[in-house]
C-alpha cells in the first residue's frame, strides 16, 4: 500500500533534493541540441507573485521539462526587472532605500518560485539594479552613443508635477498620470533619445517571418506605421509650409491646411486678432494624450488668421490648428482634402469649408517622395533616482561627454531624500559629491589629454533599456569582461521560446532594435532575438475582473499551496483552465477537481494488475506529446485525465503507471518524480508506435438518402478502404431494411467519417 497522497510532504522532499543537487544547472555542451526558454521577467513588487504570474511561468516550465525529458540541453534562467517608479514612490513615502526594498521583494519572489517547483537554473539569476548588471546597460548606451543613435534634443514631453518626471504617451490616461492620478502637463525639455527609427524599415519588413501570434505582429506593424507619400510646399506670405500626404494626387481638392498645436512656426501663422484664442486652444490640446487626440470623434480646431497658396490650383486656402494632427508624424502639417478623407470631411462640415471633388493628377508634379513613420524615436530620459544612471557628463559649456568605459559602472549614490523637486532634475542632483567627475579630454590643438572636472547627468534610463538585452546576459551572467560571452551566445542564442502576457509592442520592438544594432557591430550572430513567442492570457478574479492589489482580489499562490492543494495542483489547474492564450477566471471549485485528479494518479499505484492497455497507452502518449508541441496544454491535461479514467476501469500495469508519471511530469513534477522513484523508472519522454494506433476504433455515420440510420464502430485503418466500410454498413439490419430495393449511389467522405447510401 502506498501512503496517502500528501502534496506538501512530497513537494517539500523534492524541492529540498533539487536545491541540494541543482539538476537544472545548464552548461554548454557542443554537439548536443539546446533549448533556451524564458518568461518576460517580472517586476518584484512587494505583493509578490500572484496566480497570474503562475500561469506565465508554468507555461515556460512545462516546455522546459518536456524538452529536458526528450534529452535536449535546456537553459531556463530567471531574473528581475527592478528599476522603476513603484520602489521609488515607496522610498519617498517611507524613507526606505529602494535597494533594501528590492532585496526583500526578490527574496520573496525567489521563495515563491521555488515553492512552485520551477526547473530554473538559479546560478544565472540576474537583477537589473545590480551594479554588475547595469554596468553593461551603460556600456550598451555608450555603443549607441558612439554610432550617433543615442542623442539629445528639445521636445515637448508629458510632465507629472506630482512625481516630478517625464511620462511616455502610454503612461498618460485621460490627461492624468497613470500612477498617481495627478493632472499632467506638456513641458519643453532637453531629453535623451535612442534613434530606433533608423531601423524602422527592417523592424517592419522582418515581422511577417516571425513565428509570433498574428495579433502581436499586427500591433507591431501598426506601432511602426510606415506611410509612403510625398512632401509638398505651400507658400505663406513669403515663407512656406511643408505638408506630408499619402495622396499627393488629390492636391487639386485641397481646400485648407491643418497644423498641429505644437507646430514650430505656429507663432508666424497667427495674427493679432487670433493670437489669444489660438494660444488657449494650444494649451488645451497639450493636456490631451496623442491617443485621445486621435480617437476623439468630435473634431475641434481654430483658424490661425493666415492663408496658403495651393500650388496646383493657385487658390488661397485657410490654415487651421487642430489637435487631430500630430507634430511628430510627418511634418506636423497636412493638406486637407475633404472629398477624399473622412477626417477632413468631418472638419470641413463643422467649419463650413469647401468640399471639392477635383480630378486626380500625377504624383510627380508637385511632391517630393517621402516615407514617414508613426513610430517616434525612443525617449529614454527619466527624472528619477531609482534607475540606471546615464553615463554622460557635461563640461562648463554644457556639452555632453561619454563616461569612459573603464569608469563603468556609474553607481547610484546612496541618498536619503528621494523626492525630486521642481527643477526638473531627479533626486540625484542632491548628491553633490557624486555629481562631480573627472573625464579625460583631448586637446584638439596639442593632441594631449588632460583630466577635466565635469558634472554628471542626473537623468536615469527608461527601465526598458535594462530589459532590452537581458536575454543575452543570461548566456553568461557572471562575465566581468563582456556584456555577453561570444561563445556562450553562439551556443545558446537566439531564444527559442519567450512567454509573457504584457509588453506586446514597446519591449518587443526595443529588444529587436538592440538585436539588429548589435548584430551590425558583429556582437551578435543573429538579427532576430526570439524564435517563438507565446502570449498568454490573464488569470482574472472569480468575478472576471483583473486582479490588482488595490481591488483586494489578488490570490497568492502560496495560500493555494498551503491550503493543502500543493504546487502541482495549482500548476496543473492553471493550464487546464482553458487555452493558454485566452483570459480565464479563477474558479476555486475547479482547483479541487484537479487536486482529486492528482490524488487518483497517486492512488493508482495501489491498483497494479495484469491487463493489456497498449492501445490506450500509445494513444495517450501521442495525444499529450502532440498537444504540448501545439501549446494545447489544457487538452493535454484532459487527455491525462481520460487516461487515468481508463486505467481505473481496466486496471493498470507498472508500464501504464510509468507512462502516466512521465507524461505528467511537466505539469506536476513533484508527484511525477515521486511516482517514478517508487516505480524505479527514469523520466525519459516516451514515444508511441503507430502500429498500435492503427487498430484504434472510430465511428462512421451511415445515412440513407441523407437521413441517419446507423453508426458503425470501425478500425481507423479501414477508413482508407471505402468498399470495406460499405460492406460493413450493409451487415447492419437497419441499413438492410432501408436498402432492400437496391442502392443507386454511394457517397463516402473520409474526413467527415460519413457514408451516405442513395436508394
pLDDT tens digits for range 128-161: 999 999 999 999 999 999 999 999 998 777 888 8
Spatial CB neighbours of 58, under 8 Å, sequence gap ≥ 6? 116, 118, 571, 574, 575
**CB neighbours of residue 295 within 10 Å:** 9
Q: Indicate the helix (H) or strand (E) that contains 749.
A: strand 745-749
Question: 3-state class of 181 per DSSP?
Answer: coil
- Supply 514's cell numbers: 538592440
Q: Which of 1, 49, 15 minimizes the C-alpha distance to 671?
A: 15
Instruction: Please say if the pLDDT value at position 371 is more than 60.
Output: yes
The reported pLDDT for the residue numbered 432 is 93
> What distance in Å separates the CA atoms of residue 655 and residue 608, rounded to the nearest whole number?
10
**203: pLDDT strictly greater than 90:** yes
- What is the 8-class DSSP label of residue 389? B
Rounded to the nearest angstrom, the gap between the alpha carbon of residue 248 and the centroid of all alpha carbons in its chain is: 37
Cβ 692 vs Cβ 615: under 8 Å: yes
Quick check: 598 and 572 in contact, CB under 8 A?
A: yes
Q: Tens digit of pLDDT for each residue in 411-436?
A: 999 999 888 777 778 899 999 999 99
H-run or E-run covering 186: strand 185-194
To the nearest 10 degrees (0 to 180), the angle between helices 654-664 and 669-679 is 150
How far apart CA 457 and CA 6 sit, in angstroms, is 57
DSSP secondary structure, 566-612, as one string: HHHHHHHHHHHSS-TTS-EE--HHHHHHHHHHHHHHHHGGG-B----
3-class secondary-structure state, position 241: strand
pLDDT band at 664 (very low <50, low <70, confident <90, very high): very high
Compute the distance between CA of residue 332 and CA of residue 354 in angstroms, rounded to an integer: 22
The phi and psi torsions of 127 (rounded to 5 degrees) equal -140, 120
> What residues contact residue 307 under an 8 Å CB cut-off, 6+ apart?
236, 316, 317, 318, 319
Q: What is the pLDDT of residues 95-115, one digit of tens each?
A: 999 999 999 999 999 999 999
Worst-scoring range by mean pLDDT, 346-355, 396-405, 558-567, 742-751? 742-751
- Angle between helix 633-650 and helix 566-576 axes, rounded to 10 deg: 120
What is the separation of C-alpha 460 from the centre of its chain, rounded to a whole number of angstroms? Answer: 23
Q: Which of 191, 172, 39 is nearest to 499 (CA)?
A: 39
Residue 1, pLDDT above cutoff 60: no
The vertex-10 CA angle with 7 and 14, nearest 5°, equals 130
Identify the pLDDT of residue 167.
Answer: 78
> Greatest CA span in the chain, whole angstroms?
113
Q: Return all residues near 294 (Cβ < 8 A) that are at least 6 apart.
A: 324, 326
pLDDT (0 to 100) of residue 529: 98
Q: Would the pLDDT of 296 be above 70? A: no
How many alpha carbons lie under 13 Å from residue 522 in its C-beta half-sphere?
0
Q: Which three cell numbers stand for residue 113?
A: 518560485
Sign, CA dihedral 216-218-220-222, equals: negative
Residues of the chain with pLDDT > 70: what percent? Answer: 98
Angle between helices 7-21 and 669-679 (to 10 degrees): 80
Can you tell me the distance from the alpha carbon of 24 to that of 74, in angstroms, rounded to the nearest whole number? 8
> Which tens digits make up the pLDDT trace of 614-660?
999 999 999 999 999 999 999 999 999 999 999 998 899 999 999 99
Question: What is the rounded distance in angstroms from the CA atom of residue 87 to the CA atom of residue 96?
Answer: 9
Compute the distance between CA of residue 398 and CA of residue 453 in angstroms, rounded to an integer: 12
> What's the pLDDT at 694?
65
What's the 3-state SS for 699-745? EEEEEECCEEEEEEEEEHHHHHCHHHHHHHHCCCHHHHHHCCCCCCE
The region of weakest confidence among 37-41, 158-162, 699-703 is: 158-162
- Ramachandran category for residue 732: left, alpha or beta (phi over 0 → left; psi -120 to 50 → alpha): beta
> Can you tell me which residue has the cell 534607475?
387
Do residues 373 and 366 make contact, with C-beta atoms less than 8 angstroms apart?
Answer: no
Neighbours of 33 (CB within 10 A): 11
All domains of the chain in start order, with CATH: 226-373 (3.90.740.10), 694-758 (3.10.20.590)
Q: Please give the grid coordinates belonging to residue 512.
A: 529587436
The pLDDT, as a whole number, for residue 119 is: 98
CA 336 to each of CA 177, 255, 258: distance values in angstroms, whole numbers, following the listed order: 33, 6, 7
- The per-residue pLDDT of the chain, averaged, comes to 92
Q: What is the mean pLDDT of residues 222-231?
A: 93
Residues 6 or more apart whose CB falls under 8 angstroms from that of 513 comprise 194, 196, 199, 203, 378, 468
Answer for the pair 109, 80: CB distance below 8 angstroms, yes or no. yes
Amino acid at each position: 500500500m502506498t501512503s496517502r497522497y500528501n502534496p506538501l510532504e512530497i513537494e517539500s522532499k523534492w524541492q529540498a533534493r533539487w536545491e541540494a543537487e541543482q539538476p537544472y544547472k545548464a552548461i554548454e555542451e557542443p554537439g548536443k541540441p539546446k533549448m533556451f526558454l524564458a518568461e518576460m521577467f517580472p517586476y518584484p513588487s512587494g505583493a509578490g507573485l500572484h496566480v497570474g504570474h503562475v500561469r506565465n511561468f508554468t507555461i515556460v516550465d512545462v516546455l522546459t521539462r518536456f524538452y529536458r525529458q526528450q534529452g535536449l540541453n535546456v537553459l531556463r534562467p530567471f531574473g528581475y526587472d527592478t528599476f522603476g517608479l513603484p520602489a521609488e514612490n515607496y522610498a519617498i513615502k517611507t524613507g526606505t532605500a529602494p535597494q533594501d526594498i528590492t532585496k526583500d521583494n526578490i527574496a520573496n519572489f525567489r521563495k515563491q518560485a521555488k515553492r512552485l517547483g520551477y526547473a530554473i537554473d538559479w546560478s544565472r539569476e540576474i537583477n537589473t539594479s545590480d551594479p554588475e548588471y547595469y554596468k553593461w546597460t551603460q556600456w550598451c548606451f555608450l555603443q549607441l552613443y558612439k554610432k550617433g543613435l543615442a542623442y539629445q534634443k528639445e521636445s515637448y514631453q508629458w510632465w507629472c508635477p506630482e512625481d516630478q518626471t517625464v511620462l511616455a504617451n502610454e503612461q498618460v490616461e485621460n490627461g492624468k498620470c497613470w500612477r498617481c492620478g495627478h493632472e499632467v502637463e506638456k513641458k519643453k525639455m532637453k531629453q535623451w533619445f535612442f534613434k530606433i527609427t533608423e531601423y524602422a524599415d527592417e523592424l517592419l519588413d522582418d515581422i511577417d517571418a516571425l513565428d509570433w501570434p498574428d495579433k502581436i505582429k499586427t500591433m507591431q506593424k501598426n506601432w511602426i506605421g510606415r506611410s509612403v507619400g510625398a512632401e509638398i510646399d505651400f507658400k505663406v506670405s513669403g515663407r512656406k509650409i511643408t505638408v506630408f500626404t499619402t495622396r499627393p494626387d488629390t492636391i487639386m481638392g485641397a481646400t485648407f491646411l491643418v497644423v498641429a498645436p505644437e507646430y514650430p512656426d505656429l507663432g508666424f501663422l497667427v495674427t493679432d486678432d487670433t493670437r489669444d484664442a489660438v494660444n488657449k486652444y494650444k494649451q488645451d490640446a497639450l493636456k490631451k494624450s496623442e491617443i485621445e487626440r486621435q480617437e476623439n470623434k468630435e473634431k475641434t480646431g481654430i483658424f490661425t488668421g493666415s492663408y496658403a497658396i495651393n500650388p496646383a490650383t493657385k487658390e488661397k486656402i485657410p490654415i487651421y490648428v487642430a489637435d487631430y494632427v500630430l507634430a511628430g508624424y510627418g511634418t506636423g502639417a497636412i493638406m486637407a482634402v475633404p472629398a477624399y478623407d473622412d477626417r477632413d470631411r468631418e472638419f470641413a462640415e463643422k467649419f463650413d469649408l469647401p468640399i471639392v471633388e477635383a480630378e486626380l493628377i500625377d504624383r510627380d508634379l508637385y511632391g517630393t517622395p517621402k516615407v514617414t513613420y508613426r513610430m517616434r524615436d525612443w525617449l529614454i530620459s527619466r527624472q528619477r533616482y531609482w534607475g540606471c544612471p546615464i553615463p554622460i557628463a557635461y563640461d562648463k559649456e554644457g556639452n555632453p561627454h561619454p563616461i569612459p568605459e573603464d569608469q563603468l559602472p556609474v553607481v547610484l549614490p546612496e541618498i536619503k531624500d528621494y523626492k525630486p523637486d521642481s527643477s526638473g532634475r531627479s533626486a540625484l542632483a542632491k548628491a553633490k559629491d557624486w555629481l562631480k567627475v573627472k573625464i579625460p579630454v583631448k586637446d584638439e590643438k596639442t593632441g594631449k589629454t588632460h583630466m577635466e572636472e565635469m558634472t554628471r547627468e542626473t537623468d536615469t534610463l527608461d527601465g526598458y533599456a535594462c530589459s532590452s538585452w537581458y536575454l543575452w546576459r543570461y548566456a553568461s551572467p557572471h562575465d566581468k569582461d563582456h556584456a555577453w560571452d561570444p561563445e556562450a551566445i553562439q551556443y545558446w542564442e537566439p531564444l527559442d521560446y519567450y512567454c509573457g502576457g504584457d509588453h506586446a509592442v514597446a519591449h518587443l520592438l526595443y529588444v529587436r532594435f538592440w538585436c539588429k544594432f548589435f548584430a551590425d557591430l558583429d556582437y551578435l550572430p543573429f538579427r532576430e532575438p526570439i524564435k517563438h513567442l507565446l502570449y498568454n492570457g490573464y488569470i482574472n478574479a472569480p468575478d472576471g475582473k483583473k486582479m490588482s492589489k488595490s481591488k483586494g482580489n489578488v490570490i497568492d499562490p502560496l495560500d493555494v499551496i498551503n491550503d493543502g492543494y500543493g504546487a502541482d495542483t495549482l500548476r496543473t489547474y492553471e493550464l487546464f483552465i482553458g487555452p493558454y492564450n485566452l483570459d480565464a477566471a479563477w474558479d476555486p471549485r475547479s482547483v479541487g477537481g484537479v487536486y482529486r485528479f492528482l490524488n487518483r494518479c497517486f492512488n493508482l499505484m495501489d491498483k497494479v494488475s495484469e491487463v493489456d492497455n497498449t492501445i490506450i497507452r500509445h494513444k495517450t502518449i501521442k495525444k499529450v506529446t502532440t498537444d504540448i508541441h501545439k501549446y494545447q496544454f489544457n487538452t493535454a491535461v484532459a487527455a491525462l485525465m481520460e487516461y487515468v479514467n481508463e486505467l481505473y476501469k481496466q486496471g493498470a500495469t507498472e508500464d501504464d503507471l510509468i507512462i502516466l508519471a512521465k507524461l505528467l511530469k511537466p505539469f506536476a513534477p513533484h508527484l511525477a518524480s515521486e511516482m517514478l522513484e517508487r516505480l524505479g523508472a527514469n523520466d525519459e519522454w516516451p514515444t508511441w508506435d503507430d502500429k498500435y494506433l492503427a487498430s484504434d476504433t472510430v465511428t462512421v455515420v451511415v445515412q440513407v438518402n441523407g437521413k441517419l440510420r446507423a453508426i458503425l464502430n470501425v478500425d481507423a485503418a479501414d477508413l482508407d478502404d471505402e468498399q470495406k466500410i460499405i460492406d460493413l454498413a450493409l451487415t447492419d439490419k437497419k441499413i438492410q431494411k432501408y436498402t432492400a430495393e437496391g442502392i443507386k449511389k454511394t457517397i463516402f467522405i473520409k474526413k467527415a467519417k460519413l457514408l451516405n447510401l442513395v436508394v
